[in-house]
């Protein structure tokens, strides 16, 4: 085993780390936007909307992310829809994670007493206004701890983009490992890169959990 | 495309069903090993021996902070270099899935053990049970019953994660799907739809079973 391969390729791994962060950040934004919409639909006053939102969550949560990613990257082109690997990665990761975000927010909304919504409605607010101005702000506080865990999983799941040739941390480690046959040093290096991101995030999640736990 | 017999014929469906079999086999092996190792790791993390506690904590927290795909690739490409033995993809995949899930099961078990009221353990000890006996005969059975919902949720995740072993060439469901659409008429969309449906049924079913169990034990 030649550990110098790790030092020689440190800059490449660092670039991979940036790609991991970039994919994760974009997917995070997408998952939050979709997650809020779906969570709102899940508690909507119309049964049909609730049904659609529930189906969205269950379908996405119960199909492996890899299958969803491969569908976007390998199957959609046969229908004439071509996205580059990076876009597929962000889209698959964001949509998959949005189901978990929606669940976290829904449980947060469920934890806000119904009287709050009713007070808003009887005060003359529309359903959407009461949701946006009264219920959601309170739900957010209760949603923070499970959202933290979902975000950690998102960062770890971003490693799947390496399977469709995106050179994130894991993709870079595999590329260099395959070229030099020094898999052990490269995977250890990759592991360290992930720990650099996930350990501080996990500690942050713990702090948030303690602050919002009541 | 209009004639679906290229996909819905006996040999192809048998081939895919075999893939589901491999997926379930891999998941079952990993569940069994990770449950046993997870309980041991949880006990080590709660142990009074500092060395055991530190080793278990580092293992659990380290594993939980890494992507499972990294663990799978390391097990297949890296581990043989370290131990000097060639591993076939299935063995490497089973080792990786078990090693990873053990850490997550350990945390569930630890939380379950800590949730058992102290008085129950003290009552057992007052009856003359040794510490180990009280743990094995009183605390663990109570804890395990309470943590079934969390364990089942974890096993749903495990079942989904076995799809990642496709990248090291295990012929499980996802990999076999890829082989099917690599043949004429080269139609990936129906193949992925079918595979997704199979995963959905398996995972949704397991999740519903978990929820039923939760309702019964709550």
What is the pLDDT, as a whole number, of residue B36?
Answer: 96
> Is there a contact between A43 and A111 (Cβ–Cβ < 8 Å)?
no
Name which of B69, B100, B161, B201 to mutate to probe chain A: the one with the most chain A Cβ atoms within 10 A of its Cβ: B69
Nearest CA among A18, A164, B176, A26 for reference residue A174: A164
Q: How confident is the model at residue B213 (pLDDT cuts 50, 70, 90)?
A: confident
Residues of B within 8 A of A190 (CB-CB) are 70
What is the pLDDT, as a whole number, of residue B2?
Answer: 61
A75–B189 C-beta distance less than 8 A: yes
How far is Cα B208 from Cα B212, in angstroms, rounded to an integer?
6
A157–B65 C-beta distance less than 8 A: no
Name which of A20, A54, A66 to mutate to probe chain B: the one with the most chain B Cβ atoms within 10 A of its Cβ: A66
Q: Is the peptide bond before B185 cis (omega within 30 degrees of 0)?
A: yes
Domain boundaries, chain A: 4-212
Nearest CA among A109, A158, A162, A167 for reference residue A138: A109
> Is there a contact between B156 and B210 (Cβ–Cβ < 8 Å)?
yes
What is the pLDDT, as a whole number, of residue A21?
Answer: 97
Domains of chain B plus CATH, in order, are 10-217 (1.10.3720.10)
Question: Would the pTM of this model clear 0.90, i.e. be above it?
Answer: yes
> Is there a contact between B51 and B113 (Cβ–Cβ < 8 Å)?
no
B195–A1 C-beta distance less than 8 A: no
What is the pLDDT, as a whole number, of residue B217?
Answer: 66
How far is Cα A186 from Cα A212, in angstroms, rounded to an integer?
39
Convert A81-115 to b/e letters by CB count within 10 Å (16 or more is b): eeeebbebbbbbbbbbbbbbbbbbbbebbeebeee
Residue A160, CA distances (Å) to A37, A157, A178, A208 in order: 26, 6, 17, 27
- Is A4-212 assigned to CATH 1.10.3720.10? yes
Q: Which residue has the higher pLDDT, A141 or B48?
A: B48
What is the pLDDT, as a whole number, of residue A1?
Answer: 82
Whether A213 has a pLDDT exceeding 70, the answer reads no
ipTM of the complex: 0.91
B69–A163 C-beta distance less than 8 A: yes
Residue A184 CB contacts under 8 Å (≥ 6 apart), including other chains: A1, B74, B78, B81, B82
Q: For residue B141, what is the enclosing H or E element? A: helix B140-146
Residues of A within 8 A of B174 (CB-CB) are 64, 66-67, 70
What is the pLDDT, as a whole number, of residue B218?
Answer: 56
B203–A62 C-beta distance less than 8 A: yes
Q: How confident is the model at residue A212 (pLDDT cuts 50, 70, 90)?
A: confident
Whether B46 has a pLDDT exceeding 70, the answer reads yes
DSSP state of B9: S
Residue B90, CA distances (Å) to B72, B94, B140, B179 in order: 11, 6, 32, 18
The beta-carbon neighbor of A194 closest among B66, B188, B195 is B66
Measured CB to CB, residues of chain A less than 8 Å from chain B are: 1, 58-59, 61-68, 70-71, 74-76, 78-79, 156-160, 162-163, 170, 173-174, 177, 183-184, 187, 190-191, 194-195, 198-199, 202
Residue A114, CA distances (Å) to A38, A50, A51, A132, A139 in order: 19, 17, 20, 14, 12
What is the pLDDT, as a whole number, of residue B119?
Answer: 92
What is the pLDDT, as a whole number, of residue A98?
Answer: 98
What is the pLDDT, as a whole number, of residue B107?
Answer: 94
Q: Which residue has the higher pLDDT, B209 or A151?
A: A151
Can you tell me which residue has the tokens 């009280």? B134
Residues of B within 8 A of A202 (CB-CB) are 61, 64-65
Average pLDDT over residues B110-115: 94
Whether A214 has a pLDDT exceeding 70, the answer reads no
As a 3-state breakdown, chain A gives helix, strand, coil percent values, each rounded to 5, of 85, 0, 15
What is the pLDDT, as a whole number, of residue B190?
Answer: 95
Average pLDDT over residues B31-51: 96
A162–B174 C-beta distance less than 8 A: no
Least confident of B50-54, B74-78, B137-141: B137-141
CA–CA min distance A123, chain B (Å): 38
How far is Cα B152 from Cα B132, in angstroms, rounded to an integer?
27
């Amino acid at each position: 085993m030649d550990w110098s391969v790790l030092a020689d390729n440190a800059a490449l791994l660092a670039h991979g780390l940036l790609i991991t962060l970039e994919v994760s950040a974009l997917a995070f934004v997408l998952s939050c936007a979709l997650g809020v919409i779906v969570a709102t639909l899940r508690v909507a006053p119309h049964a049909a909307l609730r049904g659609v939102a529930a189906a969205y969550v269950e379908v996405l949560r119960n199909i492996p992310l890899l299958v969803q990613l491969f569908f976007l990257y390998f199957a959609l082109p046969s229908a004439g829809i071509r996205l580059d690997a990076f876009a597929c990665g962000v889209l698959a990761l964001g949509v998959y994670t949005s189901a978990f975000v929606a669940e976290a927010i829904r449980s947060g909304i469920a934890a806000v007493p119904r009287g709050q919504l009713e007070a808003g409605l009887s005060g003359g607010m529309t359903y959407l206004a009461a949701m946006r101005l009264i219920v959601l702000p309170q739900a957010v506080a209760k949603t923070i701890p499970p959202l933290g865990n979902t975000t950690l999983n998102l960062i770890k799941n971003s490693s799947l983009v390496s399977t469709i040739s995106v050179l994130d941390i894991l993709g870079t480690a595999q590329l260099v490992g395959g070229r030099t046959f020094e898999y052990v040093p490269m995977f250890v290096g990759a592991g360290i890169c992930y720990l650099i991101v996930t350990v501080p995030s996990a500690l942050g999640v713990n702090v948030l959990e303690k602050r919002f736990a009541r | 495309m209009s004639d679906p017999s290229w996909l819905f014929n006996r040999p192809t469906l048998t081939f895919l069903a075999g893939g589901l079999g491999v997926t379930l086999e891999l998941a079952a092996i990993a569940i069994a090993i990770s449950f046993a190792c997870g309980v041991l790791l949880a006990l080590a993390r709660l142990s009074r021996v500092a060395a055991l506690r530190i080793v278990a904590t580092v293992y659990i927290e380290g594993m939980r902070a890494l992507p499972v795909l990294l663990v799978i690739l390391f097990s297949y490409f890296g581990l043989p270099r370290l131990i000097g033995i060639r591993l076939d993809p299935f063995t490497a995949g089973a080792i990786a899935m078990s090693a990873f899930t053990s850490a997550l099961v350990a945390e569930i078990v630890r939380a379950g053990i800590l949730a058992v009221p102290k008085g129950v353990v003290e009552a057992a000890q007052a009856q003359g049970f040794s510490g180990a006996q009280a743990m094995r005969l009183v605390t663990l059975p109570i804890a395990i019953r309470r943590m079934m919902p969390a364990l089942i949720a974890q096993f749903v995740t495990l079942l989904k994660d076995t799809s990642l072993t496709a990248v090291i060439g295990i012929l499980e469901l996802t990999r076999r799907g890829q082989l099917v659409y690599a043949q004429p008429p080269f139609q990936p969309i129906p193949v992925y739809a079918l595979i997704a449906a199979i995963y959905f049924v398996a995972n949704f079913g397991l999740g519903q079973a978990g929820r039923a169990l939760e309702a019964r034990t709550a």
